[in-house]
Structure 1
Amino acid sequence: MSKKKRDIPVFEHPLIETHCHLDYLKERPLAEILAETQRVNVERVITIAVSPDNLAPVRELAQSASWIYGTQGIHPHDAELYTDDVEAEIRQHCSHAKIVAVGEIGLDYYYDNADRAVQRDVFRRQLQLACDADLPVVIHSRDADDDTIAILQEFEQSLPRRGVIHSFTSGPGLARYALDQGWCLGFNGIATFNKAENVRDIIRMTPVEQILLETDAPFLTPVPYRGKENAPFYIPFVAEKVAEVKALEVADVVRQTYQNSRRTFYRLQ
């Protein structure tokens, strides 16, 4: 049973939405969504690329407003669509000031939408792109903890900037490895789900200095708005839940995660 809906909290300190997919939002006009996002004091939004056909739309969105930024990368679901031409397109646009990371890249052995060997190869190729571009990385890892660790270990010395393992639902082994290596972990509406105690356990073990807030909109809408399309303006509920789980003041979580976001995505202005 979902909780009674309530107004979205507005905090004095601004928030940064570090992971959403603006071009996938369909329930309301994007202009309305962005206006509501600003109303709840979200200062910057990072919209994430996942496939060859949305690399350009993400770049266009990042150019549409000063407070919107983007990434370039291919999700493991579409790893079999990764070609030399796609790689060249990503490489070309990684130099743009509004592109703040290589991502969303990684491994997904839950859905297995692409051959696992292809996923691993494409993951490595895009990590090398991040090395070459001096950009952080946005990583997706699902049911692939061991291989994610093994591949990241290959790049421990060559990757100049870490980044984030977003929508973290993996086990404590991957969490400990990532945190020890200086990565951030990204948490979203899953943290509010009744059955997500495993995610809350990871939040408890993660230093607040290594937590990033996200929504992954239009997916994973937080309680109390589950059932509706997710949107960046719901991110205050994620901040509240992280604060509750870690027994911290929400204002302190908002301030610290804001600093974490600026540190991780150094091109945010």
Structure 2
Amino acid sequence: MSKKRREIPVFDQPLIETHCHLDYLKDRPLSETLEQTWAVNIERVITIAVSPDNLAGVRELTQTDERIYGTQGIHPHDAETYTDEVEAEIRAHGKDDRIVAIGEIGLDYFYDNADRGVQRSVFRRQLQIASDLDQPVVIHSREADEDTIAILGEFEDTLRRRGVIHSFTSGPELARYALDNGWCLGFNGITTFNKAENVRDIVRMAPIDQILLETDAPFLTPVPYRGRENAPFYLPFVAEQISAVKDLALEEVLNQTYRNSLRVFFESP
């Protein structure tokens, strides 16, 4: 007989899902996913652009519900698809009413789906867009800590809004650089994985006022639902894990991460 999974907790305090990919969800109708998301007191959802193919789709999703927001940007996996026309589209829509950041942008030397030199160039070009538009950024960095630090350093004076290094799995050097320079770190279901003590070490290092909650759905489903497609409505499990790892009251984690999300994405600096 299979062990029954815990029900998803519902908290009195609202949550903000700062990173997911609504257009990648396949297991159930999106309307059903969103209904369950709102039911667990998730107040807003940010769905993330990653390629030229879904820039417009993300914008369309933000028009379907006043609680859905989006980003515009090209993931490092798709850096070789970046063109002047794509850049013009990101610039044209990077400050639309429902667009709250430039992203997901950055470097990925783990998969190396795009030439590293191209990744670095595209990363710089999109950081420049964010600087010009005064928008925060959503950064992906994997096995690229040194170059991420170097490139972010080039924009320390111009990128006022900063943003988040999402799904943080990098080392303490990048974490310390980011925290010292006003960035937030995004944590998700990885924090619940048995072999992710390195990530939990970074959670312990990070001040609670520089932590954001995310799911990265449909990826990285938290315990106790690993094996299923991830969804924004699993975010409460991430909040509980942050509370446990940092030995902080759950109410404090919920209140502070909510304020952090507002500060990064929804309030003027």
Same fold (TM over 0.5): yes
The answer for the alignment partner of 1:214 in structure 2 is 214
**SS where residue 60 of structure 1 aligns?**
helix
**SS where residue 132 of structure 1 aligns?**
helix
Code of the aligned partner of 1:71: T
Is residue 21 from structure 1 mapped to residue 34 from structure 2 by the alignment?
no
The answer for the alignment partner of 1:255 in structure 2 is 255
CA distance, structure 2, for counterparts of residue 154 and residue 219 of structure 1: 31
- Measure how far apart 1:3 and its partner are: 7.7
CA distance, structure 1, for counterparts of residue 176 and residue 97 of structure 2: 32
The answer for the alignment partner of 2:200 in structure 1 is 200
| Equivalent runs, 1:204-243 vs 2, <5 Å | 204-243=204-243
Code of the aligned partner of 1:145: D
CA distance, structure 2, for counterparts of residue 75 and residue 187 of structure 1: 18
The answer for the alignment partner of 1:102 in structure 2 is 102
| Equivalent runs, 1:117-266 vs 2, <5 Å | 117-266=117-266
Q: TM-score, normalised by structure 1?
A: 0.98
Code of the aligned partner of 2:135: L
**SS where residue 53 of structure 2 aligns?**
helix
The answer for the alignment partner of 2:75 in structure 1 is 75
CA distance, structure 1, for counterparts of residue 170 and residue 205 of structure 2: 13
CA distance, structure 2, for counterparts of residue 32 and residue 216 of structure 1: 18
CA distance, structure 2, for counterparts of residue 54 and residue 63 of structure 1: 14
CA distance, structure 2, for counterparts of residue 267 and residue 66 of structure 1: 17
- Measure how far apart 1:151 and its partner are: 0.1
The answer for the alignment partner of 1:64 in structure 2 is 64
Q: TM-score, normalised by structure 2?
A: 0.98
- Measure how far apart 1:251 and its partner are: 1.4
Alignment gaps of 5+ in structure 1? none
The answer for the alignment partner of 1:31 in structure 2 is 31
Is residue 93 from structure 1 mapped to residue 93 from structure 2 by the alignment?
yes
Code of the aligned partner of 2:7: D
Q: Is the 8 A contact 1:107 1:123 kept in 2?
A: yes
CA distance, structure 2, for counterparts of residue 177 and residue 266 of structure 1: 24
For residues 122-162 of structure 1, the C-alpha deviation after alignment (integer angstroms, 9 at most, x for no partner) is 00000000001110000000000000000000000111210
- Measure how far apart 1:224 and its partner are: 0.1
**SS where residue 71 of structure 1 aligns?**
strand
CA distance, structure 2, for counterparts of residue 123 and residue 177 of structure 1: 18
- Measure how far apart 1:264 and its partner are: 0.2
Percent sequence identity over matched residues?
A: 75
| Equivalent runs, 1:34-53 vs 2, <5 Å | 34-53=34-53
Q: Is the 8 A contact 2:215 2:232 kept in 1?
A: yes
Q: Is the 8 A contact 2:95 2:135 kept in 1?
A: no
CA distance, structure 2, for counterparts of residue 75 and residue 60 of structure 1: 19
CA distance, structure 2, for counterparts of residue 71 and residue 79 of structure 1: 16
Code of the aligned partner of 1:59: R
- Measure how far apart 1:105 and its partner are: 0.1
- Rate the CA distance shift 1:121–1:29 in 2: closer, same or farther, 3 A: same
CA distance, structure 1, for counterparts of residue 95 and residue 112 of structure 2: 31
Q: Is the 8 A contact 1:221 1:229 kept in 2?
A: yes
| Number of aligned residues | 267
- Measure how far apart 1:95 and its partner are: 2.1
* Root-mean-square deviation over aligned CA pairs: 1.2
**SS where residue 164 of structure 2 aligns?**
strand
For residues 181-238 of structure 1, the C-alpha deviation after alignment (integer angstroms, 9 at most, x for no partner) is 0000000000000000000000000000000000000000000000000000000000
- Measure how far apart 1:4 and its partner are: 5.0
Q: Is the 8 A contact 1:131 1:159 kept in 2?
A: yes
CA distance, structure 2, for counterparts of residue 159 and residue 12 of structure 1: 35
- Rate the CA distance shift 1:81–1:3 in 2: closer, same or farther, 3 A: farther
